[in-house]
Amino acid sequence: MARPEVLDRIKEAEREADEIVEDAHEQREARIQEARTEAEQIREQAREEARELKSRRLDEAREEIEAEREEIIAEGEADRQALESHAESQRNEVVGYAVNLFTEAVDAQT
């Protein structure tokens, strides 16, 4: 094989090697970009799932608070009714006691 042919084949091999290296770099960059895109999608999905979980937990907490509030209000209403009933049952006794005090005070002045 003549020397110019050998040199041409070497140059062609070097061009092919350069193309292979360039293709490999391009493929590497493409895979890196794909990985970055996929990672961003995963992060966004995780953020969305976290928002949904937070929302569900807040809703559950609000429901628990509302149930507890209703229970406290019901207990307070029951206590108020019991106190009112007790006060009503003692009204005649208190009125009689006040009349007696008043009568004694009037009698003491005369």
pTM of the model: 0.53
Domain map of the chain by residue range?
3-109
20-52 per-position pLDDT tens digit = 999 999 999 999 999 999 999 999 999 999 999
**Cα 54 from Cα 61, distance rounded (Å):** 10
The Cα diameter of the chain in Å comes to 155
**Cα 58 from Cα 37, distance rounded (Å):** 31
Count Cα neighbours of 26 within 13 Å in the Cβ-side half-sphere: 6
The predicted pLDDT at position 70 comes to: 98
43-101 per-position pLDDT tens digit = 999 999 999 999 999 999 999 999 999 999 999 999 999 999 999 999 888 888 988 99
Helix (H, G, I), strand (E, B) or coil at 88: helix
Report the length, in residues, of the chain: 110
